[in-house]
Structure 1
């Protein structure tokens, strides 16, 4: 049997290792704390648009919200040449109500045009 200061140090290190291994991190989860600032009803208004002739990109979005009432529209230039516009509203719990309209007539290239089509190069800044 080992005796003396080496045994005592070895025994002490063993006890410390067991105590350190028994310490597990503890986590607790709770409900979010209430903010001290009062927040009012949701209200906002935004509008943005892109119209780039070189890439033929034409799209945009606008929306307004007052509490539970939201109204807006968005549009996009489709590959077939038409402009698609979606006008929508949400009135409380009524759900999303949309009206979709198209402006223009769909154009499809001849098969020879499709083979020779080279998409425009886009530059990202």
Structure 2
């Protein structure tokens, strides 16, 4: 066994013969470089619908949870128009009307409607019966 002098902070490089290859690696063949494939030409696909048009709408009215929302939207080429509304947690209905086109971009107008509080008739005032005095 050889003795190697080491200075502080310096790690000597070990000779390659000091670390022989494991016997298990010798059983596998050497890797072979795969041939490089020719570059594939990328073609731009045109959309089948060059002038998109659609229209949709939906509403949700859930009496159990009080969830109430709606949306409607139409598209005619590059112009999109629509609106949606929902009840916020504080009871206010928020309605957003929007419009988008390639020239002006997306524009929206938000409206908040204060909820109408229904007057609940007050319960009739009931006077408590007088407490009888107990004699001790």
What TM-score comes out, normalization by structure 2 length? 0.55
In structure 2, how many angstroms separate the alpha carbons of the residues matched to 1:47 and 1:94?
24
Structure 1 stretches lacking a partner, 5+ long: 1-12, 108-125
Matched, 1:48 2:58: yes
Please point out which of 83, 91, 96 is paired with 2:93.
83
Count of aligned positions: 92
Moved beyond 4 Å, runs of 4+: 24-30
Distance 1:23-1:67 versus aligned 2 partners, 3 A rule: same
Higher relative contact order (CA 8 A, sep 6+): 1
Segments of structure 2 that go 5 or more residues without pairing to the other structure are: 1-25, 118-136
Larger Rg: 2
C-alpha deviations, 1:94-117, integer Å up to 9, x for none?
11111111122499xxxxxxxxxx
User: 2:122 — aligned with what?
Assistant: none
Normalized per residue, the structure richer in helix is 1
Is the Cα contact below 8 Å between 1:74 and 1:87 reproduced in 2? Answer: yes
> Kindly tell me: are residues 27 and 61 of structure 1, through their superposed partners in 2, closer, same or farther at Cα, counting changes over 3 Å?
farther
Residue 17 of structure 1 is matched in structure 2 by: 29
The alignment's TM-score, normalised by the length of structure 1, stands at 0.59
